[in-house]
Structure 1
Amino acid sequence: MDFPQSRNQSPSQLPTSSSKYHHPYFTSAEVEYLSEKQRGKFSATQDEKTRQTACGFLEAMGARIGFPRRTTATAQNLYHRFHLFFSRKDFQNYWARIFDVALGALYVSTKMHDTLKKPRELLAVSYAVRFPELAAKSKHPGGEVDLDTMDSQIIEADRQRLLAVERLILETICFNFTSRMPFPYVIKIGRALKVTKQLTKLAWRLAVDSHRTLLPIQYPPHTIALGSIYVACLLSSFEQLELPNQEGFQTSQKIVSLLGKRGNWEKKYHSQVEDLEDIAHTIIDILIQGAQSPSASTSPSTPSSPTPHPSRNMHIPPVASQLPTPFNADQLIRLKITMRETEHPPRVRHPLGSVDPSALYGKDGTLQVGRNNDGTVRFLFGPPGIAGP
């Protein structure tokens, strides 16, 4: 696998210093622009397939090691962010691109959440996930591959690639280790809206699924949480018998009616109805994929302990899950059609900072990362005009 090389410039042409800014969130237009730019000859469908394979691999890794949900979710976010800045053509081998970048993202995430594992430990588990036949031969009690039985040169080469990806990922986040998750907000907002425990649990699982998409790098966690609650109520009320109201709780129909139109809740929760509709469509899309392709299932079977089932016929074992509603793909598509009939026009989202970040993605490579010979580089925690955390 080849990584981006330094630009061909003479010493007199090299900049003495430059600044790179961390952008916590991107607009939909920015994500589309960057994704298309880095996708190269890959189609959007191939790009999505690669993304889901990487996310499934990270789910399996997190389940085997026992990482908390925040570690796995952050690793998925880092993987998504990485490929906004690095082209697919920078990585020659298809599988190496997925696993090396995903494993590097997981390694950085373990540092961010104080769940650190050594590179060799991660590699041992990754071999077991990728190559079940090796794990079957291993006598390790945890099902890991015994690295002492493998070629030491191969292991060292994989370790070096993991560390190389780690450096690139650290540059993409400008060494900003701040990571906020939507899961606590699901609980808090659910209580404020008087959502039942059953709906809150479903919303939690949908928030987990949201990290298989690009939503967390487009919206703050409290908006993701509110959107997950909105989707949970949609799924529980569309073409379903209206259940009797539980004392002290709001019905899903009432919550859909509240969040589906403008109101005081937008100011209270610092979110807008157009954003919830965008989140809803994206999450429902991934549920449709799961319904149409059970092997590419989405949310784990339980919020706290997803359990992968290895298969000798697959490189990546599917995460054990079921669609968290009784809906099939046709019903979910009908729900999307119904939503389109009443949804609001997309709102205009302005990039963060005083300067349009799109200008930083130009041919001059101002925001490029992973490049050598940039002189002194300052990594700042926020875009121009925005104070760091």
Structure 2
Amino acid sequence: MDLPLRGQSPNTPASSSKYHHPYFTPAEVEYLSEKQRGKLSLNQEDKVRQNACGFLEALGARIGFPRRTIATAQNLYHRFHLFFPRKDFNYFDVSLAALYVSTKMHDTLKKPRELLAVSYAVRFPELAAKSKHPGGEVDLDSMDPQVVEHDRQRLLAVERLMLETICFNFTSRMPFPYVIKIGRELGATKKLTKLGWRLASDCHRTLLPIQYPPHTIAIGSIYVAALLTSFEQPLPPPLTPGSRTRHAHEIASMLTTHGPWEKQFHSQVEDLEDIAHTVLDLLIQGLQNPSANTSPSTPSSPVPHLSHSHQQGQNQQHQAQPAPYNADQLLRLKIAMRETEHPPRPRQPLGNADPSALYGGEDNNLIGRNEGTVRFLFGPPGVVGNGV
């Protein structure tokens, strides 16, 4: 008779499999989020989520990480709390671990101590003011070594759990290249595509990237950009005959209805409407709370080694620029969309029709435990080419 491993429950199987799920249905996200939310309200949970995303933005801007590294870190943060309760972790630790894993995924690696030095500067501005480092980083040698080592160990501990949530699958596909390609195919102007790029970046402050593939996020962002640009705006003059460029009104009208574009871009109008409402809610929240600081100031990666004072000057300049829309206008847009939108399309979870059955049993309980042997697979059950 086989005996269980030391510290292992007699009822625990000697070996099990954990599958990586690249995307989750809205029902799965709702179920898992509610399970890990605890006593927090929806508003409190969203506030913590936005604080974490803003923290990652600040870290990425200081260090000079490309947009893909910051966006992936935000995505990893969201995914982590589908499996682990928020009450057991503070968002600083989870955010730092997410950023550390993201640097490995995108070959922009930084050591944990380097990330900690920058995080202390963001969290404790008074320490950064005393620092002589040109980038405003905190000199770790001037801090209590036990505190620094304790924070480093916590970062590495959360990193291990985060790697389990992705089943050690380091594949990452971003929506940003798709925004450029789809914008070109749709005949969008450079200005419209630029706004779509920024909105695709904002999407990573939400749970959208763990619900939809990057090409759907991309076309959804262009759709929102077209709506923002055309809503309550007069029709522009007709374009030159034979021009491939389309006005925002035309793009918004085309993507609002079913058509050949759905097959061409492998997306559906119902998904674009869901993306639009989520992004509009985020923009409304940002207008009502300017400190949320949505959208990077430019659709390019942050400039490496940019001084802290220079960054503050850029941020102040960006915040001084009025938004091209206001909260009341966005609310009117949401109401107008509700009057003509399509009912949500049914989406089946991967491997099981009941999200509570799929994620309420062994598949979820295996994460973060050292009981038995766990085999991590790169795709859901039945997918060809699973890795170990």
The two structures have a TM-score, normalised by structure 2, of: 0.91
Given the superposition, is the C-alpha separation of residues 378 and 185 from structure 1 closer, same or farther in structure 2, using an over 3 Å criterion?
same
Identify the residue that residue 225 of structure 2 maps to in structure 1.
232
Q: Is the 8 A contact 2:98 2:159 kept in 1?
A: yes
Q: Is the 8 A contact 1:309 1:320 kept in 2?
A: no
Residue 220 (str. 1) matches residue 182 (str. 2): no
Q: Quick one: which of 282, 289, 293 aligns to 1:286?
A: 282
C-alpha distance in 1 between matches for 2:61 and 2:29: 29
Q: Quick one: which of 302, 327, 330 aligns to 1:329?
A: 327
Residue 15 (str. 1) matches residue 13 (str. 2): yes
Q: Is the 8 A contact 2:73 2:95 kept in 1?
A: yes
C-alpha distance in 2 between matches for 1:355 and 1:16: 27
Residue 253 (str. 1) matches residue 249 (str. 2): yes
C-alpha distance in 2 between matches for 1:306 and 1:151: 31
Q: Quick one: which of 281, 291, 296 aligns to 2:292?
A: 296
Q: Quick one: which of 42, 57, 62 aligns to 2:60?
A: 62
How many residue pairs match? The answer is 371
Cα deviation code 1:7-56 (max 9, x no counterpart): x9765333200110000000000000000010010000000000000000
Q: Following TM superposition, by how much is the alpha carbon of 1:319 offset from its aligned partner in structure 2, in angstroms? A: 11
Q: Is the 8 A contact 1:56 1:319 kept in 2?
A: no
Identify the residue that residue 40 of structure 1 maps to in structure 2.
38
Moved more, 296-305 or 259-268: 296-305
Cα deviation code 1:179-230 (max 9, x no counterpart): 0000000000000000000000000000000000000000000000000000
C-alpha distance in 1 between matches for 2:183 and 2:125: 40
Amino acid paired to 2:49: R
Q: Following TM superposition, by how much is the alpha carbon of 1:296 offset from its aligned partner in structure 2, in angstroms? A: 1.1
Amino acid paired to 2:348: H
Q: Following TM superposition, by how much is the alpha carbon of 1:303 offset from its aligned partner in structure 2, in angstroms? A: 1.2
Q: Quick one: which of 369, 373, 382 aligns to 1:372?
A: 369
Q: Which secondary structure state, in structure 1, belongs to the residue aligned with residue 364 of structure 2?
A: coil
Residue 244 (str. 1) matches residue 244 (str. 2): no
Amino acid paired to 2:31: Y
Amino acid paired to 1:386: V
C-alpha distance in 2 between matches for 1:30 and 1:111: 28
Q: Quick one: which of 72, 75, 89 aligns to 1:74?
A: 72
C-alpha distance in 2 between matches for 1:323 and 1:164: 42
Root-mean-square deviation (CA, aligned residues, Å) is 2.3
Q: Following TM superposition, by how much is the alpha carbon of 1:355 offset from its aligned partner in structure 2, in angstroms? A: 6.9
Q: Which secondary structure state, in structure 1, belongs to the residue aligned with residue 82 of structure 2?
A: helix
Moved more, 233-242 or 71-80: 233-242
C-alpha distance in 2 between matches for 1:200 and 1:9: 55
Identify the residue that residue 314 of structure 1 maps to in structure 2.
none
Q: Is the 8 A contact 1:301 1:322 kept in 2?
A: no
Residue 270 (str. 1) matches residue 266 (str. 2): yes
Residue 112 (str. 1) matches residue 109 (str. 2): no
Given the superposition, is the C-alpha separation of residues 306 and 290 from structure 1 closer, same or farther in structure 2, using an over 3 Å criterion?
farther
Identify the residue that residue 3 of structure 1 maps to in structure 2.
none
Identify the residue that residue 149 of structure 1 maps to in structure 2.
142
C-alpha distance in 1 between matches for 2:298 and 2:8: 56
C-alpha distance in 1 between matches for 2:237 and 2:143: 60
Residue 163 (str. 1) matches residue 156 (str. 2): yes
Cα deviation code 1:80-117 (max 9, x no counterpart): 000000012323xxxxx110000000000000000000
C-alpha distance in 2 between matches for 1:168 and 1:369: 11
C-alpha distance in 2 between matches for 1:358 and 1:250: 45
Given the superposition, is the C-alpha separation of residues 254 and 309 from structure 1 closer, same or farther in structure 2, using an over 3 Å criterion?
farther
Gaps of 5+ in 2: 1-5, 310-314
Q: Is the 8 A contact 1:100 1:162 kept in 2?
A: yes
C-alpha distance in 1 between matches for 2:318 and 2:350: 38
Q: Which secondary structure state, in structure 2, belongs to the residue aligned with residue 84 of structure 1?
A: coil
Q: Following TM superposition, by how much is the alpha carbon of 1:243 offset from its aligned partner in structure 2, in angstroms? A: 2.6
C-alpha distance in 2 between matches for 1:154 and 1:320: 36
Cα deviation code 1:215-249 (max 9, x no counterpart): 00000000000000000000000012333345531
Given the superposition, is the C-alpha separation of residues 215 and 323 from structure 1 closer, same or farther in structure 2, using an over 3 Å criterion?
farther
Residue 179 (str. 1) matches residue 168 (str. 2): no
Amino acid paired to 1:259: L
